[in-house]
Amino acid sequence: MPPQDPEVARWFSANLQPHEPQLRAWLTSQFPSGQDVDDIVQEAFVRVLRARTDAEVRSPKAYLFVIARNLALMRVRHSKVAKEDSLAEIDCSGILDEDADVPHAVARAQELEMLTEAIQSLPTRCRQILTLRKIYGLSQKETAAELGIAEHTVEIQAAIGLKKIGQFFRRYRPQA
Q: Which domains does the chain have, with CATH numbers?
A: 6-84 (no CATH), 90-171 (1.10.10.10)
Residue 31 pLDDT? 76
Residue 153 pLDDT? 93
Residue 72 burial by CB count (10 A; 0-12/13-18/19+): exposed, middle or buried? buried
Residue 109 pLDDT? 77
- B/e letters for 105-134, b = 16+ CB within 10 Å, e = fewer, are eeeeeeebebebebbbbbeebbbbbbbbbe
Residue 150 pLDDT? 94
Residue 156 pLDDT? 93
* pTM (2 d.p.): 0.46
Q: Could you tell me which residues come within 8 angstroms of residue 97 by beta carbon, excluding any fewer than 6 positions away?
A: 105
Residue 149 pLDDT? 94
Output phi, psi for 90, to 5 deg.
Answer: -70, 135
pLDDT classification of 176: cutoffs 50, 70, 90: very low
pLDDT tens-digit series, residues 9-66: 899 999 999 999 998 888 888 877 656 888 999 999 998 998 888 888 888 888 888 8
